[in-house]
Amino acid sequence: MPQDVCTKTSNENDIESGVIKYAKSLLQTFVIIIVIFIINGLRKLIKGEFELFSYSIFIIGCTLFLSIVNIVDEEVYRNIMLGLGIALGFGIIGVNPLQPTLGPP
């Protein structure tokens, strides 16, 4: 009886789902990092301090690193994304939480 070559084994399904999961993670992280840099880069672009090459290398590095973190541990990835969102929000409203506001200068 001939074997059907079109049917996949369970091992092939696991590999394919892992690749699809990584591709989705990579695309999702890339979009998030691009949005963050667009929001932060608009001010520097207006001032003329925008360096395209260094930002693009940093975006690619962040995307690869965070997509690997997402594959390894999704909870850590979510917490990193939450922290980036909080930092972006503070940056937009102009608050620096690490700078002391009370006390002697």
User: Average pLDDT of the chain?
Assistant: 77
Check residue 97 and give its pLDDT.
Answer: 64
Taking residues 69-85, report their average pLDDT.
89
How many whole angstroms separate alpha carbon 72 and alpha carbon 36? 23
- Per-residue burial over 67-81, b = 16 or more CB atoms within 10 Å of its CB, e = otherwise: bebbeeeeeebeeeb
Higher pLDDT, 14 or 64: 64
Give yes or no for residue 18 having a pLDDT over 70.
yes
Q: Where are the domains of the chain?
A: 19-90
Check residue 82 and give its pLDDT.
Answer: 92
21-28 long-range contacts (CB < 8 A, ≥24 apart) are 21/71, 22/67, 22/71, 25/67, 25/70, 25/71, 25/77, 26/63, 26/64, 26/67, 28/70
93-102 confidence digits (pLDDT tens): 877 666 655 5
CB neighbour list of residue 63: distance below 8 Å, 6 or more residues apart: 26, 29, 30, 33
**pTM as predicted:** 0.64
